[in-house]
Amino acid sequence: MEQVALYLLKSAAWLTAFTLVYLLFLQKERFFMLKRIYLLAGVVLSLLLPLVTLHYKIELPAPLIPDGQGMTSASPAPAATAAQITEHADILKWFMIFYIAGILLMSGRTLKYLLSVCRTVRSGQVDREGGVLLVRSEKNTFAFSFFNYVFINPSLSGREVREIINHEMVHLSQKHWFDLLLVELVSIVQWMNPFAWICSALVRQNHEHLADEEALQRTSDPAAYRAALLNQVFNARLISLSNSFNFSFNTNRFEMMKKKNYSPYRKLKLLLVLPLVAVMLYAFADPVYTYSDSAPGSLIKDIQGTVVKEDGTPLAGVTVNVSGTSLSVTTDETGRFYFSDLPAYVGIMFTAAGYEPVALTAGSVRGATITMKANQRYANMGSVSQGLLVMVDGQASDLSLEEATKKLGKDFGKSVYLDPAAAKTKYGDKGEKGAIEVTSRSKAKESGIILPYPREDEADFPTFRGESFLSFADWVAERAKYPADAASRSVSGWVRMAYTVDTDGSVSGIKAISDSDPALVGELTRVMESSPRWKSPANREADEPFTSEIVIRFQLPDRVSNGIVYIMADEMPQFPGGDTELFKWLYGTLKYPDQAKGKGIQGRVTLRFVVTSDGYVEDVSVVRGVDPLLDDEAVRVMSQCPQWKPGKIKGNPVNVYYAIPIKFSLQ
């Protein structure tokens, strides 16, 4: 019902705007056919344009948690809101009843006129005159046409009849009945809009000007035509679905019959409708609000940028990692990096030996140039020419650290920085400005030190029962039993377990890396310890201990499943009503801790959580906190979040990571 009322309001506004432009700029112009087209187009567009809604984007900062007493007493709000909605619905209901009653009344009025015309046709004398049916009836005090009928009074002289038929034939040939039918329907639908009736009168007025213009060209006696019009001009009421010979909206009809020269450029006045349409479309456009700090649901297709040093030169070998995941790339020789299909809110971390780490979001690094500042401890680390000594496997090198790293490739093991004092003690004057010791994996192995192999391809990873190491989580979930003790205490949740696959294929180093219930951890430990032997990597160089982790989900009453969580999905999870409603719910539920207010603590808490395949919010954790008081409150409220629409991959619901910033602000 609201949508219908809104459509009618927009339609009335459009028709009013088109009519006002006509009245102000076009009414006295003499290009009658163009004016007819304008009026018809205005009526049609007033019915169609309300169906068109443009959208414009408004970017907002993430909402604030204000320091206000209203935060702690939100319980009466739902009842008040419900009452307001009910009152609004009742008003709208009675308005629609009143509006429909008006339509019925106007429709009855038109039907009454149509019946009156039908009675006149049946009771009058009907003769065919050329292409029209001439109806003579004493009831007709004025001449008018209705479709192909022309109604006149029998008392009219033969000359007047000829001039009237001459005039009405123009109406018939130009099919003015179509215009009248259209504006009559619009007038009925918009009976409350006075400009609908004004537009109807303007259409009929323009019809008369069109008919006069052509009839004067057809008649052999223009004076007789004007005399016939003068005899008719002050007679009775008009029938809206007919063209009346004597119709005149104002007194300038005879003035319009005069031949005058005017500039064709006056037709350009019609272009005034363009800014009108632009203004109206903007007025009825809907804003789309986005939060600049969150953008939780959006995926960015192409995330690429360039990492440079402070002097603007490209920085190769920078590790670019997607926060909270194993996704990682390294900048190339030109300092460029690339990711695809990441949520805008996901954190991106840039790290490189000798440089201060940089943390940004995926949305902010797209197309950006990231400048990394040298760490003071590693100042001037890049080259011997700057005084820093680079030692590769115990030998002095004229390569920079980046060049040495690139040259070693997968054989790169580790690098250690020595401050000037330590470097000078170890290497003499050559190390007076500090040193970098680079050790290759092969050299370290000779010394009995095993450094992690840089695994990149499938051949670099051990396999579990002939499949990817990722299948280990499924195997564990299938064999784990929900601990009775945990179930009796209604304990559920997500458990992260780390493990190491040794070179002999056995699993060791099993431990929990999340704060989970001991009963759940114990059950997963039992299953993981019973793991069959793994197969070594196909790449023999990568045959060394491999450390990874699994995530298992425990759901009451007795469900245990692989807790694989995606950071992106074809369809991202959505809170009912979208991001705007999510923040509205959050800031209507959060309470600013009194202790935090007393200590003046404020700031932004970034939460990460899982929206499960069932749409529930679980595993809420703090990615970036401010203070335990604010962190705990944010986690508490987010853990109570209503059910979401789950994310999907290829149409199937999946678990998806989600993150939002919550800003606590003292005002």
For 512-530, what is each residue's pLDDT tens digit?
Answer: 987 889 999 999 999 999 9
Looking at every residue in the chain, the average pLDDT score rounds to: 80
- Give percent of the chain above pLDDT 70: 81
350: phi then psi, degrees, rounded to nearest 5 = -110, 125
Residue pLDDT, tens place only, 49-60: 998 878 665 554
* Phi, psi (deg, nearest 5) at residue 433: -105, 10
Residues contacting residue 145 through CB under 8 Å, at least 6 positions apart: 132, 151, 168, 171, 172, 242, 243, 245
When comparing pLDDT for 107 and 660, which is higher? Answer: 107
Q: Which residues of 18-33 are buried (b: 16+ CB within 10 A; e: fewer)?
A: bbebbeeebeebebbe
Helix/strand/coil (H, E, C) string of 407-462? HHHHHEEEEEEECHHHHHHHHHHHHCCCEEEEEEHHHHHHCCCCCCCCCCCHHHCC
pLDDT at 230 (0 to 100)? 63
What pLDDT digit, counting tens, does each position of 557-587 carry?
A: 888 988 777 776 778 888 998 877 888 888 8
Tell me the pLDDT tens digit for each residue of 340-361.
667 766 778 787 766 777 877 7
pLDDT digit string, tens, across residues 112-167: 988 888 888 888 888 887 778 888 887 777 777 787 888 887 877 777 778 777 88
Which among 591, 453, 445, 456 is positioned nearest to 65, based on CA atoms? 591
Domain 579-664 grouped into CATH 3.30.2420.10 = yes
Residue 84: band (very low, low, confident or very high) from pLDDT cuts 50, 70, 90: very low
φ/ψ of 216, rounded to 5, equals -65, -30
> Other CB atoms closer than 10 Å to residue 53's CB: what's the count?
11
pLDDT of residue 316: 82
Predicted local confidence at residue 643, as pLDDT? 92
Q: Which residues contact 169 (CB under 8 A, 6 or more apart)?
A: 130, 131, 132, 215
As a CATH number, domain 458-562 is 3.30.2420
Average pLDDT over residues 266-290: 81
Q: What is the pLDDT of residue 261?
A: 63
Distances 586 to 70, 574, 662 between C-alpha atoms, Å:
14, 14, 9
Largest CA distance in the chain: 131
* Confidence at residue 642, expressed as pLDDT on a 0 to 100 scale: 92
Residue 79 has pLDDT above 80, yes or no: no
Task: Identify the pLDDT of residue 386.
Answer: 54
pLDDT digit string, tens, across residues 221-243: 777 676 666 666 555 444 456 66
Side-chain-side CA neighbours of residue 80 (13 Å): 5
Model pLDDT, residue 56: 62
CA–chain centroid gap for 447, Å, is 58
| Residue 327's pLDDT band (cuts 50, 70, 90) | low
- For residue range 527-541, what is the model confidence (pLDDT) as tens digits? 999 999 999 999 887
CB 407 within 8 A of CB 362: no
Measuring CA to CA, which residue among 608, 471, 480 is closest to residue 555?
480
Residues 6+ apart with CB under 8 A from 526: none
Q: What mean pLDDT is predicted for residues 37-51? A: 93
Q: What is the pLDDT of residue 582?
A: 85
What was the pLDDT predicted at 537?
A: 93
pLDDT at 89: 58
Q: How confident is the model at residue 501, as a pLDDT?
A: 93
Per the CB < 8 A criterion, the answer to whether 328 and 321 are in contact is yes
- Mean pLDDT of the 252-281 span: 79
What does the alpha-carbon distance between residue 27 and residue 181 come to, in Å, rounded to a whole number? 21
* pLDDT for 72: 29
CA distances (Å), origin 642, targets 212, 345, 363, 590, 606: 70, 21, 27, 14, 19
Q: What's the pLDDT at 242?
A: 64
The pLDDT, as a whole number, for residue 69 is 32
Per CATH, 458-562 and 579-664 having the same topology is answered: yes
Give the separation between CA 16 and CA 43, rounded to whole angstroms. 10
- Kindly report, residue by residue over 296-312, the tens digit of the pLDDT: 445 666 788 888 888 88
pLDDT of 385 reads: 38
- The CATH topology of domain 299-374 is Immunoglobulin-like (2.60.40)
Q: pLDDT digit string (tens) for 394-449?
A: 888 888 777 787 788 777 777 777 888 888 888 888 888 888 888 887 888 887 77
Query: Mind giving me the DSSP string for 583-650?
Result: HHHHHHH----HHHHHHT--EEEEEEEEE-TTS-EEEEEEEE-S-HHHHHHHHHHHTTPPPPBPEEET
pLDDT at 43 > cutoff 90: yes
Higher-pLDDT residue of 84, 523 = 523
How many C-beta neighbours within 10 Å does residue 593 have? Answer: 17
More confident residue, 647 or 356: 647
Q: Residue 35 is inside which H or E element, if any?
A: helix 32-48
The reported pLDDT for the residue numbered 83 is 40
| Predicted pLDDT at 136 | 84
At residue 472 the predicted structure's pLDDT band, cuts being 50, 70 and 90, is very high
Residue 390: its pLDDT value, please?
87
Any idea where the domains of the chain sit in the sequence?
Answer: 2-55+85-281, 299-374, 377-446, 458-562, 579-664
Highest mean pLDDT pick, 348-352, 389-393, 476-480: 476-480
Q: How far apart are CA 54 and CA 7, in angstroms?
A: 15
- Hey, what are 491's tokens? 């304990």
Which carries the bigger pLDDT value, residue 362 or residue 483?
A: 483
Residue type (1 letter), 179:
D
Contact 624, 608 (CB under 8 A): no
